[in-house]
Every structure is written in structure tokens, then in C-alpha cells.
Amino acid sequence: MVLLLPLVIDLNESYFSLYGSSLETPENNKCNIFSGSWVPYSKGSFYSNESCPFIAEKQNCFMHGRPDREFLKWRWKPEECELPLFDAKQFLKIVRGKSMAFVGDSIARNQAESLLCLLNSVARPVDITSRYTSKDDKYFKWWFYADYKFTVAILWSPFFVKSSKAYLKDTSFYNAENLFLDEPDEAWANHIQIFDYLIFSAGQWFFRPLTFYENRQVVGCQKCHNLTTDPLNLYGYRNAFRTAFRTVINLKGFKGMVFLVTHSPNHFENGEWNKGGGCNRTLPVNKEDKGFLHPYALEEIYETQVEEFAAAEKEARQKGLRFGLINITDVMLMRPDGHPHKYGHNLDRNVSINDCVHWCMPGPVDTWNQFLLHMIKIGSF
């Protein structure tokens, strides 16, 4: 375990104004909505695990016996303004007649299912997955809100780029993947032209053994000699994001909004994920906590993402495209209490690995969609 000071994101005012992450204060000053703290909120969550049918079993912490509910009684408070609570009616009014895709890994799916739950009090969608793929396909999902003519899709692509998809045959973390860094994954690239909003979110799969290809030639690898001692090679991570952004920018006729959700931190304590590590805290922590757990390589991962996003946003702006940064890394770093821990499965099952990567639903992950609604409302970042 490495205990360090928490990640401090030092980005200037113009950066936040540019990427649509600011609110006007009563004094007409700009407010960075991603700089703040979690404050008590007695009203709790927007929905329950019983009222929402879209919660994946592994994120349904209360169904699996999580006993505490204090982690629900917090809301995100920017330092110099108020972030409006999620308004399902307002969201559906804004997106009427439009379509939205969450592209990425299971963290992207976590956010998409949170959105479905937040909207559930106002409208329920029809599952239209079978129009695009097998209805039993666990990797791709499509829903349609008939009253609003609004479509939501989850396009599974944990690397953004073409891969050997070895994980379909062997789900082991230790199984190597080939990544073709200059070729976008057709699983999402062949669909995005029909969407008005694209939300990209990935990163959790880049810690495993990887072999990198460009022009179908091997150009490098990660953890290809020793899984434990080999350092993290962010070349693949950087170029996967670069290819994803370029694919959107070069798409003819695309005029939608593109969002990047920054890296979602894990919170394993007292051991790594495969060595008994867990996350059994029940309250948020603040930046001043000396016992703050700092996830492995978080700064490097975050900085790589943001650098690629900034370069892509500049190019996109010149073409009249709108890119927005949903900067959740520091926000969620303070929420080690929000993960399933051992409550992502039936407690009578013989499962030794705790989940400190995904987020319980309901829970702090719902705040991501407050950010999303705010940035869609602003529209012109």
C-alpha cells in the first residue's frame, strides 16, 4: 500500500471555462464545479435498488447485504457555487429526439445504468437491443424512451481500439491482449455517426499484459516479461485515446457533443486487488486526510488522458465540434466508501476478490450524471 497526499488537479480558470465545467456564481464569477468537497445531504439517493430495474447485480450492493446507508447521504458541493441536483424531467426535455452512447468499459456501463435509474421516476425505456445485436449480448445494450424519442446505448469497447478480444475466450486478468493502436474498435466506430452525445470512459483494462501494434507491426508491449515487476507502459493507453478522438473528429457530418469522463480511481486498501485488498470504509474522506489511499499510477494515467483530450479538443474546436471534460477523478478519489467491496455478490458464494473498482447503485456514481446534465445544458463549451 502506498499512502500519499491526494491528487490535486491544478488546471487554470480558462481551462474549465473552455470545457464547460464552470457555473456562474451570484457574483457573476466563474466556478469550477469539479473543485469542492462532499457535504452531508440528509435526503439521500434519487432512487433505490428496489425501484430501479437497471442495476447490474454486481453493483446492487444492498441486495447482497450491504448494511450501511450513510454513504448515500452526501452530495457534491463545488467550492464557490451550487451544482444543481439531477432533474430527470429537465434532462429528458433537453434530449428529446436525440441519442446518447456510452463508449468504453464496465465503468462506462456503470454510469449509463445510473442514468437509466435517475430517469426511471419519469419514464421507462424499451429494450431495443435486438434491433442491433443479439438481445442476450451482455456487452451491448440499446434502450428507447418512446415518449421522448430518446435513445441510450452502451457500446462495449474496453480499449477503444481494435483488439484480439482474448477476454471473450478467457476472462483471466493475466491473459495477454493484442492492441492495434491505430485502428478504432469497429464495435463503436461503426455506430457513432447516429449519436448526438458520445461519452467515452475507459482505462481499467490497460493494467494487464498487452502487446502493441501499429501498421500491423509490433511496436511494444506492457507487462510482457513479468506481470508483477514490469512497469506500466502508457504508450498504448495514450494512443488508444488518441485514435478514439481522431476517429470522431474525422467522422464526416458528425456534429454531436463528445465527453471524456476522466479516470475512475479504485480504492484497494490492505492489499492489492488479488491479494486480499478491500474497501470497507463507510464515509467519504477529505483531501487533508493523512491516511488517504492513493491508487497506483493515478497521476500518470490522469495526465495522459487530459493531455490527449486537450490536443483533441483544440483540433475539434477548429472544425466546429464540441468536446467536454467530465473531470471526476479528484471528486471520486474522496469516495472510498462508494464501492461494492464484498457486497457485489451473494455472501455465501466463495468469492475472494473484493470489488473496489465499480460503484454501488445508488451511490456517488450518480453525481457523474449531474455533471453530464450541467454540461449538456451549457451546450457551447
User: Which is catalytic among the residues 105, 330, 355, 366?
Assistant: 355
Measured between alpha carbons, how far is residue 14 from residues 11, 67, 83, 303, 313 in Å?
8, 44, 19, 18, 14
Angle separating helix axes 106-119 and 366-378, nearest 10 degrees: 80
Nearest residue to 341 via CA among 318, 325, 359, 323: 359
To the query of whether residue 341 is one of the catalytic residues in this protein, the response is no
The cell numbers describing 108, all together, are 462506462
Tell me how far apart the alpha carbons of residues 123 and 29 are, in angstroms, rounded to a whole number.
Answer: 36
8 A C-beta contact, residue 177 and residue 210: yes
Provide the grid cell at 72.
Answer: 448515500
Q: How far apart, in whole angstroms, are the C-alpha atoms of residue 57 and residue 71?
A: 19
Which of 341, 358, 366, 374 is the catalytic position? 358
Is 355 catalytic? The answer is yes
Residue 106 is a catalytic residue: yes
Question: Could you give the CA distance from residue 343 to residue 365 in angstroms, rounded to a whole number?
Answer: 16
What stretch of H or E contains 144?
strand 140-145
Kindly name the residue from 22, 45, 106, 264 that is annotated as catalytic. 106
Tell me how long the chain is: 381
Q: What whole-number distance in Å separates Cα of residue 175 and Cα of residue 253?
A: 39
Q: What are phi and psi of 51, to 5 degrees?
A: -85, -15
Q: Cell for 85?
A: 441536483
Query: Which sign, positive or negative, has the C-alpha torsion 103, 105, 108, 109?
Result: positive
Q: CB under 8 Å to 171, separation ≥6 — which residues?
A: none
> DSSP alpha helices (H): ranges in the chain?
13-18, 88-94, 106-119, 186-189, 235-249, 298-318, 329-333, 366-378
Burial of 47 (0-12, 13-18, 19+ CB in 10 A): buried
Give the DSSP letter of residue 170. Answer: -
| Helix, strand, or coil (residue 182) | strand
Return the active site residues: 106, 355, 358
